[in-house]
Amino acid sequence: MDIYSLAAIKAAELENELKRLGRWMDKTLPDDFFVDMGPFGSHTMCYEQWIQFVLIERIHEIIAERGEFPRNSNLGVYGVRYFDGDENARVLQQLLSELDQLINSPITSDTKTSS
């Protein structure tokens, strides 16, 4: 499986987990939430919203364009901090860490640049 297929699976797993937790929003956020939103959306939205409206959307864009993923990802590290004490978010934290591993893997780094 290539990085695009694996990333699509991770995006679907993230979406499903947010829905399972009841943290998926049916309506998008107002446009001003996406201006000067800061790292992981921290200035204008909660992390779950950023995952839904920015991360998952960006993953789908990269897949559709067969573009490059970032060279480094720290989604899981931020997730550990953000969800500290939230026992319900353990699976979500794990999925974010698995996405980091996929993006940061030297094997997939070759795949990212050899399309």
57: in domain: yes
35: in domain: no
Total structural domains within the chain: 1
37: in domain: no
What is the distance, to the nearest Å, from the Cα of residue 71 to the centroid of all Cα atoms in its chain? 14
Return d(Cα 115, Cα 109) in angstroms, integer.
11
52: in domain: yes
pTM: 0.89
Per residue in 7-41, pLDDT (tens digit) is 999 999 999 999 999 999 999 999 999 999 999 99
104: in domain: yes
100: in domain: yes
Three-state helix/strand/coil letters over 19-67: HHCCCCCCCCCCHHHHCCCCHHHCCCCCHHHHHHHHHHHHHHHHHHHCC
More confident residue, 113 or 59: 59
93: in domain: yes
Residue 105's CATH number = 1.20.1440
**Residue whose tokens read 């998008």:** 28
